[in-house]
Amino acid sequence: MKPTFGQKLDLLARNLTPLGLTLILVIVDAVPLHVPAFAQIAPMLTMVAIYHWAVYRPTLLPPSAVFAIGLLQDILGGTPLGVTALVLLSVHGVVVWQNRFLAGKSFGIVWLGFGLILAGACVETWILVSAFHGTPVNAQPLAHEFLITLGIYPPLSWLLIRWQQSVLKAD
């Protein structure tokens, strides 16, 4: 039986939720909390979402969307334009490339993979920002961001998995 217009629209809306949720996290990342120096150590929520969708539903967040999300995050966060976009594309590419080692594995393995890829992303960010400024920047805030993001991964991943199970039924 051919799907109706309503069914097609429902499927489209469901398939756009990874993009929508990731954009919400970009906005949450950009909200000023007026906590001294918080922006330097805030968790990289967008990174968690990009990693999650690349592991569990890679076709629902294509590289073009990842690039646009990264540019938006650069604009809202004041990062040199293109840095976050390039880093998120790198994360997405590595996860999709290594998906056979991550998909279907235990949470511990997926979290370990996130930690390794996050470490690489932090180093890439440091290199790109240092190159942009023409001098090595202080890596300590980035190290704190790494630890906080690694710690926020389990609860945020749990929420994204629950969303995926309830809204994104198996296609």
In a domain, 3, yes or no: no
In a domain, 92, yes or no: yes
pLDDT above 90 as % of the chain: 71
Query: What mean pLDDT is predicted for residues 48-69?
Result: 95
CATH number of the domain within which 117 lies: 1.10.1760
Q: Please, what is the average pLDDT of the chain? A: 91
Q: Which of 5-14, 55-64, 78-87 has the lowest mean pLDDT?
A: 5-14
> What is the tens place of the pLDDT at every residue in 21-33?
999 999 988 887 7
> What is the tens place of the pLDDT at every residue in 109-150?
999 999 999 999 999 999 999 999 999 999 998 999 999 999
Between the alpha carbon of residue 52 and those of residues 15, 33, 40, 58, the distances in Å are 15, 25, 23, 9
In a domain, 8, yes or no: no
**Cα atoms in the 13 Å half-sphere on the side-chain side of 12:** 7
In a domain, 12, yes or no: no
Q: Please tell me the total count of domains within the chain.
A: 1
In a domain, 4, yes or no: no
